[in-house]
Structure 1
Amino acid sequence: MTQPILVDVPERLQTPRLVLRAPRPGDGAALNAAVLDSLDALRPWMPWAQSAPTLEASEAVAREAHGKFLLRSDLVFSLWLHDGQGRETRLVGGSGLHRIDWSVPRFEIGYWCRSGHTGQGLVTEAVRALNRLAFDQLQAQRVEIRMDERNTASWRVAERAGFTLEAVLRNEARDVAGGVRNTRVYARVRGVEEAAASGGGA
């Protein structure tokens, strides 16, 4: 297996409405504003959204994500609207390929959307782009999306993006309040939702 740090991963993807870009130093202010706008909506689902972050904390998050991207241990992408020419205009959320097992390869897509930009299909657009990155360029065998069963908006994104519900894992994890939650598991896999690899290789 190729060492993960040697895997070529594009730091920028463009869709009709979005630029998906790896975080970099200096992104903290834009990230901070997006999170502060969205705290009330994110708080029930995201452990990192329980209190308002400082500018310094958001800059640290951006720099840590930048480092992990370079190491290929976690591939975070910020979601930016663009002006039609690819110039970034507004940070509207985050997504990425997480919990990576390069030996398979297997990835998990996570996502959040800035308040005021939900219900527009932006996250679904990003998920489809990341799914294509995983299968077409990173030779994925499996891509998962997991969420609290009560997070209806999240699992509807997975279904719109063409992921198959595989299971509802009962009492599988703790929620942000410390209670026990059920987890919905969606996936796309090589040879089922995605075309089999040519020549039988991974």
Structure 2
Amino acid sequence: MQPCLPEQIESERLLIRVARPGDGQIFNQAIHASAAKLAPWLGWVTPLPTLEQSEQNCRRAYARFLLQEDLMVFFLLKENGRLIGGSGLHKADWKLGIFEMGYWGHAEFGGAGLMSEGVRALSDHALQAMGANRVFLTTDEKNEASWRLAERAGFTLEGVLRLDRLDIQGRLRNTRVYARVSQRLGQTPE
């Protein structure tokens, strides 16, 4: 039996919970407030989603969570419930214990270490409580804020894939690959 994706976990300052029906408004507001920061890197930000599209996205995310297919989470401040960003465990390979992670942050909360805290807590949960062997992420080499966040959250640069994808403007880009692996297994399989 595979471990379950978590509905909610906590870190020191954050409540990390699955996106649910009814979250469309806070999701939409955060994306609109952060569009200038996110648009160069995330294709789903342009054109800006409508409130209805954001709500549909949250509903689909919750359905996929219930099916144990995907985990889209929001990082909420414990003190006031404000949405400071999102993340997730995607493309779950339960047999190999591998998840891909992604994240985005609300522009208003940059520089406080909140996103790093949330990304670390979610990847810790996957590696420790869910028995994951590997949690990895990819980021455009030019998105320095993203790859620096990965490093602060404990991810190790595994390499750079040269000219492997197109960026938002349709130009070839280099992709940095980061991962955290289970301490149960060490750094390489025996």
Which of these residues, 181, 187, 196, is aligned with residue 185 of structure 2? 196
- Computed over aligned residues only, the root mean square deviation of the Cα atoms, in angstroms, reads 1.3
Aligned residues of 2:16 and 2:74 also touching (Cα < 8 A): yes
Alpha-carbon distance, 1:174 to partner? 1.2
Alpha-carbon distance, 1:195 to partner? 3.3
> Structure 1 CA distance, aligned partners of 2:25 and 2:123?
28
Q: Answer yes or no: is 1:22 the counterpart of 2:18.
A: yes
Q: Percent identity?
A: 47
Q: Partner residue of 1:66?
A: 62
> Structure 2 CA distance, aligned partners of 1:16 and 1:138?
20
Alpha-carbon distance, 1:155 to partner? 0.5
Q: Answer yes or no: is 1:131 the counterpart of 2:123.
A: yes
The 5 A counterparts of 1:1-202 are 2=1, 7-83=3-79, 89-190=81-182, 194-196=183-185
Amino acid corresponding to residue 29 of structure 1 in structure 2: Q
Deviations 1:8-27 (A, max 9, x none): 23211111111111011111
Question: What stretches of structure 1 of length at least 5 have no aligned partner?
Answer: 198-202
Helix, strand or coil: the match of 2:107?
coil
> Structure 1 CA distance, aligned partners of 2:184 and 2:120?
15
Alpha-carbon distance, 1:128 to partner? 1.0
Question: What stretches of structure 2 of length at least 5 have no aligned partner?
Answer: none
> Structure 2 CA distance, aligned partners of 1:91 and 1:162?
23
> Structure 2 CA distance, aligned partners of 1:167 and 1:180?
17
> Structure 2 CA distance, aligned partners of 1:159 and 1:172?
22
> Structure 1 CA distance, aligned partners of 2:40 and 2:63?
28
Helix, strand or coil: the match of 1:93?
strand
> Structure 1 CA distance, aligned partners of 2:161 and 2:91?
18
Count residues in correspondence.
186
Amino acid corresponding to residue 183 of structure 1 in structure 2: T
> Structure 2 CA distance, aligned partners of 1:159 and 1:195?
21
> Structure 2 CA distance, aligned partners of 1:175 and 1:100?
24
> Structure 2 CA distance, aligned partners of 1:54 and 1:104?
37
Q: Which runs of 4+ in 1 moved over 3 A?
A: none
Alpha-carbon distance, 1:108 to partner? 1.3
> Structure 1 CA distance, aligned partners of 2:150 and 2:81?
26
> Structure 2 CA distance, aligned partners of 1:146 and 1:16?
26
